[in-house]
């Protein structure tokens, strides 16, 4: 018994083969988009922190105990001023706080949100010790606390930008993409 292979059957078989081979590529687009977002956030943070330090130098505040630096369009461009530690607890929109030329770990979460000017799809999670911060998607339930410290694998099972402030002196910014 022979089955006659019509043109329609051939087309359906070819479409089935294409669907099976192409589907995995389309299924990973969401993960690729998340990774691209995280890498963009990482680059924005690094650039903004360098820009803030440069502005502090221009205004002679790079060694100030406390300085508020404008990093976004929400404040007067180039504006920077010394502040008291007491006045640093509530940063105005568009500013970040530098302490002795470094991101202040006490207000780092608010500073990072001011830098990123994020929408509702992202959140910043703070985990002690001060300065261990993760930027992740709102629907992510991963705990930033499981990544405390500066040594972690980029391929760990998480999808976030991890920042670690070494006592406020240096900032390490890395993406963890293994869970995207």
| 175 DSSP assignment | E
Residue 1 within any structural domain of the chain: no
Residue 43 within any structural domain of the chain: yes
CA–CA gap between residue 129 and residue 166 (Å, rounded): 10
Q: Domain residues for 93?
A: 32-176
Residue 127 within any structural domain of the chain: yes
Residue 144 within any structural domain of the chain: yes
Residue 24 within any structural domain of the chain: no
Residue 83 within any structural domain of the chain: yes
Task: Give tens-digit pLDDT for 95-106.
Answer: 788 877 777 666
Domain count, the chain: 1
Q: Are 97 and 59 in contact (CB under 8 A)?
A: no
Task: Give tens-digit pLDDT for 34-77.
Answer: 999 899 988 888 887 888 888 888 888 888 888 888 877 667 66
**What is the distance of C-alpha 13 from the center of its chain?**
44
């Amino acid at each position: 018994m022979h089955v006659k292979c019509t043109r329609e059957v051939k087309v359906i078989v070819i479409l089935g083969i294409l669907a099976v081979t192409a589907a995995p590529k389309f299924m990973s687009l969401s993960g690729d988009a998340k990774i691209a977002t995280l890498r963009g956030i990482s680059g924005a943070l690094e650039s903004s922190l360098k820009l803030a330090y440069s502005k502090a130098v221009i205004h002679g505040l790079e060694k100030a105990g406390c300085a508020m630096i404008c990093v976004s369009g929400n404040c007067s461009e180039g504006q920077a001023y010394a502040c008291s530690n007491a006045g640093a607890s509530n940063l105005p929109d568009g500013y970040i706080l530098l302490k002795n030329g470094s991101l202040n770990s006490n207000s780092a979460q608010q500073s990072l949100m001011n830098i990123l000017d994020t929408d509702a799809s992202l959140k910043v999670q703070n985990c002690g010790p001060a300065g261990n911060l993760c930027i992740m998607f709102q629907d992510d339930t991963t705990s930033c606390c499981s990544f405390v410290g500066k040594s972690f694998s980029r391929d760990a099972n998480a999808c976030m930008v991890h920042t670690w402030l070494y006592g406020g002196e240096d900032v390490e910014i890395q993406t963890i993409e293994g869970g995207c």
